[in-house]
Amino acid sequence: MSSKNEIKNAFEAELKNTPQYQIVLNIKNLIIQEIATPNIQSLVIYNFQIPQNEEERNIIKMCMIIEFGFSTDNMNENCVIIEMIKFLS
């Protein structure tokens, strides 16, 4: 295994142990519920239970890359807006 892969795997494992990774899993569940309702929207808004500071939001972005394959800049301390079109590319 190359050093890059070793570091990537260790970093991903640590990210998956963060509270922000659980937030991303909650976002995933919300999206799936919205689709199943059916409530097809171009945007899905997830409101954080606890306001997220800048560092926590950056961790959420990295966790989104692990879980969804993309991140977003549509986020503030109170919510994140997911553009559903990103799942189509």
The CA-based angle 72-61-23, given to 5 degrees, is 110
The partner residues of 75 in beta bridges, in order of sequence, read 80
For the segment 46-85, what is each residue's pLDDT rounded down to a tens digit? 999 999 999 999 999 999 999 999 999 999 999 999 999 9
Q: Write out pLDDT tens, residues 41-54.
A: 999 999 999 999 99
Do residues 40 and 85 touch, judged by C-beta distance below 8 A?
no
Q: What is the pTM of this model?
A: 0.93
